[in-house]
Structures are given as structure tokens and as C-alpha cells.
Chains A and B, each alone.
Chain A
Amino acid sequence: MYRYDQYDQAIVDARVAEFKDQVARRLRGEITEDQFKPLRLMNGLYLQLHAYMLRVAIPYGTLDSRQLRMLAHIARRYDRGYGHFTTRQNIQYNWIKLEETPDLLADLASVEMHAFQTSGNCIRNISSDQFAAAAADEIADPRPYAELLRQWSTLHPEFSFLPRKFKIAVTGSALDRAAIQLHDIGIQLVQNDAGEIGLKVLVGGGMGRTPMLAPVIRAWLPVADYLSYMEAILRVYNRHGRRDNIYKARIKILVNDLGAAEFARQVEEEWAQLKPLGLDPPPSELARIAAHFQPPALDAGAPVDIDLSNPEFANWVAVNTHSHKVPGHAIVTISLKAPGEIPGDASADQMDRIADLAERYAQDEIRVTHAQNLVLPHVAQADLFAIWQALRDIGLATANLDRASDIISCPGLDYCTLANARSIPIAQKLAVRLAPQEAELGELKIKISGCINGCGHHHAGHIGILGVDRKGEENYQLLLGGSGAEDASLAKILGPGFDENGIVTAVEKVIDRYKSLRADPSERFLDTWRRVGAEPFKEAVYG
């Protein structure tokens, strides 16, 4: 894992001190809320429905046990004993007091964490593949490339006031677990015939009001040119992005208006000016960062066969673990989606216990997934049973990864000022109703957002649900056919919306129709949808 050097720590410590002074001045009445609001947002502090909410950055979703224990401490000391893992691999606390925030941020800084660039029109926390350095299908660990971007973009003065927020995802695998086609910039590590690693660059994806998939603007970028090319993209966006209309300000609108080819041409033109200026760090800098991400020394001769005689354990292994690149090891996904619970929420006690497990069994690493689960990336198969037992003791051994009850949900109107409708109660009802049949259904990704901004990724759901406001009452639109994976597609609205109970019934009708339409039990819902189209589902729901 990356560890701060003196410069990283100095930047974060200085920011804590600066914000402490800003908070004191606000509380003394020396600055107005209009003056203070942009300052607190630059430090990840929002005012939500019930209290302040703090969004803490988790760079590329990677934590060690020391950091996770600090997140648990913050939940206990400054919040109400829990936190909410988000769809951008961050964590949010919902009950923060302004007057306590400086102390909280100082605690975070003591474990090399902070909350800046989790709000505002800047380059946000860089996200990545939760299976980085562990996945058998990976070309290379994407996190050094994400870390280089983090350092480059941290408090970058030129890119602190972009037309709109800016999200970047990096993956090292052809199997896309980071939703790179749905980011402002998506980066995929690729390999040429000579075995060299380069970057495939996608620009202009996103969800929200105007969902779009990102086109590839450069199929091969040499690693040595990485940052100057990123800078060129940001410069073109900063120059031409729509600052006159917040709804048209994301880079996806610019790329779509210009066309991918013309946008790419402008980037190349800008890059030709920038590249000779020497913005790119020497190769030794990436090597210095990469040295922090050396793969753990795992025993490739570790036993491969494990006792699966306990059927509940065997099912959990089958559903929630993946092959590791080192034989005899596995990647464990800890579901934060027990049916009826709040998706993505974890108590302080649960966080502490997971930190213990990571320290003892998983090379001291934890990952946060954009699907709001946690991962232990490097686990010996011989330890799986002990991990499963420990997780069962804290209510986190649910075997439902990528199944119907593994639902992504934003906080919705239960917490969020932007939301039009509650999303968590819909997720809870659906999970409880669908869990009994989810094994039969196979992969089925349901994603729920409480407003058009799409934090619950409804456009990327095999089944997506969007909460809207209809004359002060909650109403829910049903969308089908989305995917955030390497086969990305955007879900389409099926028809008129429903109330809270109606949407649950409508989803059940869709699933019943899928079961009658699928070619065989192995055909996923998404593939059935793509094969037969909307009409049979419309007939099932509205007929």
C-alpha cells in the first residue's frame, strides 16, 4: 500500500489546520454561510437533511486495518456508530457536527486520510478495480497509475474549479469492475505484442441526467506520456466545457457535442503544446510509487483443496469468492447487503472486526467496491472457513454477490437534500422479497437512485430504479437493460412509474417474465433482455 511521504502529510496537515481556522471563524460569526459553504464543501462537508455529512476519500478503494479502525473510531466518536460505503468507493458519515469536524479531520490525517476533493468541481477521488493486484485476469496493478493521478490532481490549482465535477477510474483488467465507460475519464491498462504496458483512454462517460458511454479517444498511450495527456484532456475541457448551464457542464456533453474524433483531435493538438514542457515525471517516479504496491509474498504451494462439507460455507465460497492469481488463494467479497439491511452501511464494531480479519488473514488490506461491499483481496483458501465463521458472527456472511439482493442504493431521501424519493426502503423490500429465489436467478444487478443525479447507478442496472417527485409524493421509474461492466449499456425506461409498493410488484413481474423467457437457466437476465427486447417485459408489467 502507498504510504504518505513528508510532502503528502504536510499537505493534509496544513489543510486540517486551515479548515480548523475557517470553522472557528464561521462559528464566531466572522464569515457568512455563503462565504463558508464552498470552503466546507472543499473539505467534503455537506449539509444534508438531518445533519452535516462528511464524505471521506478512500483512494482507489484501498484501506489497511489501521485506517479501517480509524473509520470505526470516527463512527463511534463523531457519528452514531456506523458509516455508509458509497458507489465511488468512499465512506460517508451522516451525523457530523460542524464544531467537531476539525478534530475529526485531525484524527483522519493521523492515518494518512482526508476528505478533500470529495465535493466541488474538481478531480474527485480516483476509483479503481477492487480486485487490483489479486485478480487472475489482470495485466498489471492499476493502483500505482491511480496513485500517480491522485498526487498530480491533489489541490491542482488549474483543475480546482472545473466546469463541473470530474471522475476518473483506472483498471488493469479487460473484465471491467471499475465501470470505466461510465466515468469522465476511464483508463484501462493494456499490453502490446512486445509485452509493454500502455493506456487505453476513454473520455466522456457518465450517468446522471444525460447518461453516456465513454468513447475511446486513444487506444494506446505510452506510460511515459500519461500525465501530460491527462493534462491536455483537462485543459480542453476547462476551456470549452459549458459553464453557463450546470446540466450541460460535464465533459460528456462536450465530447458528445464535438464528436469523439474532434475532441480527440483537440486533445492531441493541446498535448503537442504541452508534451515538450516536461510535465511528465521521470519513469523513476512511477517506479517509486509502484514499489509501495509490491504484491504480497503468498505461498504458491498453499493447499488448493478445502473442506466444503458445510453446505452454507460451500455456498458462500461459490458465490462470494473469486480466483486469485496465486494458486491456493482467493479474493473474498464481504457483502454489506444482508436482505433487509441498509446497503453499504457498516457499524463501527463490524469495521473493527473486518480490520482484525484483514490483519490476520488478508495481508492487512481491505478494499471498498463501487457496489458498496468490502473485499479481502489476498486470502489463503485454508483460512476461508475461519473468515466465514467470523463474518457470520457479525452478520456479514451473506452469500449474494452480484445477485438480486446485492442491490446498490444511494442514501436517497432518507438522508440526501438532492433526493426526490427514498431509495433504501425499496432496496430493503426488494432484497427480502427476491432473496429466496436469487440462486435460481443467477447474476442480476439491481441499482436504485433517489434522484436523477444517479448516485445509485440506476442507468447501469440490469434492473434500474429511479425515484422521482410527483407533486410531493414519491414515484419510481423502472429501467431495464443497463450494465456498468465491460459489456456496458444504458438502461432504458420501460414505461410509467409506480408508487413504493407498485415498483416492488413491477420488478417481481419483470423477473417472473424473465424466468419464462430465458433460453436456459444459465442465460442472465441482461442477456435475455438483449435478446428479446422491451416488449415482453412491458406486456408483463403494464399488460
Chain B
Amino acid sequence: MPRLLTGNRLETGDVIWWTGSGWSLHLKDAVAVDADGEALLARFAPEERINDLALIDVDAAPDGWRPRTTRERVRAVGPSVRPDFALPSLPVEAI
């Protein structure tokens, strides 16, 4: 099962995703870290610039990643009750 690396940016609290070369606000930019996940956690955690670093399970769907849990889908998109704030990573209806 693919895994993504995510966390919250220290300065703003924004949800961010590891893209392989940097961090993005958008789930669609994320890359699967799979076996490298633990090493990336070990690399970024001591830097103390990203809070709540975590590896999450996703499924690969034709239109992009789909996090396995409702919680992570909400994190990726934004509050389901505020579609006006929704990030374009996943349709709000897909939560």
C-alpha cells in the first residue's frame, strides 16, 4: 500500500505533503515514499520545522491519491462543510 509523508508547517499550521524535492499544500503533488518513509521521518523530525509529521496510507485512484481514512481525506481537502475553502486535491464529495 502506498504511503505519503505529511505534516503541518510550523509557521502557519498548513497541511503539507512531501513531493520528493520539497513540500506542497496539495495532495496531488505528493509522491509515495513507501520504504523510504522512516528515513524521511528521521531526517525531518530533528529539523523541528514541521509539526505532527506522519506517514499515512493511501490508495492510488485514477485521479490521484485517496487517503484511506476520513480524517486524512478531511486534512487533504479542508472542512467538508466549507467547500469554499476546499483545496483542489480531492473533490469535497469524496470525503
**Chain A interface: which of B26-34, B35-43, B64-72?**
B64-72
- The answer to whether B81 touches A428 (Cβ under 8 A) is yes
A425 within 8 Å of B (CB atoms): yes
B21 within 8 Å of A (CB atoms): no
- The answer to whether A27 touches B11 (Cβ under 8 A) is yes
- The answer to whether B81 touches A96 (Cβ under 8 A) is no
**Smallest CB–CB gap between A53 and chain B, Å?**
8
Bound state CA distance, A48 and B13, in angstroms?
Answer: 8
Summarize B's interface: helix, strand, loop or mixed. loop
Chain A interface residue bracket vs B: 20 to 34
Bound state CA distance, A205 and B14, in angstroms?
Answer: 37
Residue of A nearest to B50 (CB): A33
Interface string of A406-438 (1 = CB under 8 A from B): 000000011100010110110010000000000
In the assembled complex, which residues on chain A have CB atoms less than 8 Å from the CB atom of B75? 49-50
In the complex with contacts A50-B13, A52-B13, A472-B48 CB distance below 8 A: no
- The answer to whether A49 touches B10 (Cβ under 8 A) is no
In the assembled complex, which residues on chain A have CB atoms less than 8 Å from the CB atom of B74? 49, 413-414, 422
**Smallest CB–CB gap between A424 and chain B, Å?**
5
In the assembled complex, which residues on chain B have CB atoms less than 8 Å from the CB atom of A428? 81
| Residue from A80, A413, A424, A425 within 8 A of B71 (CB atoms) | A413
| Residue from B15, B70, B79 within 8 A of A415 (CB atoms) | B79
In the assembled complex, which residues on chain B have CB atoms less than 8 Å from the CB atom of A415? 79
Interface residues of A in 31-70 (CB under 8 A from B): 32-33, 47-52
In the complex with contacts A97-B11, A474-B70, A33-B51 CB distance below 8 A: yes
Residue of A nearest to B80 (CB): A414
In the complex with contacts A50-B75, A413-B70, A32-B13 CB distance below 8 A: no
In the assembled complex, which residues on chain B have CB atoms less than 8 Å from the CB atom of A414? 74, 79-82
Bound state CA distance, A428 and B82, in angstroms?
Answer: 12
In the assembled complex, which residues on chain B have CB atoms less than 8 Å from the CB atom of A425? 80-81
Bound state CA distance, A94 and B48, in angstroms?
Answer: 23
- The answer to whether B80 touches A49 (Cβ under 8 A) is no
Residue of B nearest to A422 (CB): B80
Residue of A nearest to B78 (CB): A50
In the assembled complex, which residues on chain A have CB atoms less than 8 Å from the CB atom of B14? 50-51
A305 within 8 Å of B (CB atoms): no
In the complex with contacts A33-B48, A414-B81, A98-B11 CB distance below 8 A: yes
In the complex with contacts A26-B10, A29-B48, A98-B10, A422-B15 CB distance below 8 A: no
In the assembled complex, which residues on chain A have CB atoms less than 8 Å from the CB atom of B71? 49, 413, 419
A473 within 8 Å of B (CB atoms): yes
B44 within 8 Å of A (CB atoms): no
B24 within 8 Å of A (CB atoms): no
- The answer to whether A424 touches B81 (Cβ under 8 A) is yes
In the assembled complex, which residues on chain B have CB atoms less than 8 Å from the CB atom of A474? 70
Bound state CA distance, A424 and B78, in angstroms?
Answer: 14
In the complex with contacts A342-B81, A413-B74, A98-B48 CB distance below 8 A: no
**Smallest CB–CB gap between A501 and chain B, Å?**
14
B89 within 8 Å of A (CB atoms): no
- The answer to whether B51 touches A47 (Cβ under 8 A) is yes
Interface residues of B in 1-35 (CB under 8 A from A): 8, 10-15
- The answer to whether B48 touches A97 (Cβ under 8 A) is no
> Can you spell out 23 A-B residue pairs with CB atoms less than 8 angstroms apart?
A29-B49, A32-B48, A47-B52, A49-B15, A50-B14, A50-B15, A50-B75, A50-B79, A97-B13, A98-B11, A342-B81, A413-B74, A414-B79, A414-B80, A414-B82, A415-B79, A419-B71, A424-B81, A425-B80, A428-B81, A472-B68, A472-B69, A472-B70
Chain A interfacial positions (CB closer than 8 Å to B): 26-27, 29, 32-33, 47-52, 80, 94, 96-99, 342, 413-415, 419, 421-422, 424-425, 428, 472-474
> 6 shortest A-B CB distances, which residue pairs?
A51-B13, A414-B79, A52-B13, A472-B69, A97-B12, A424-B81
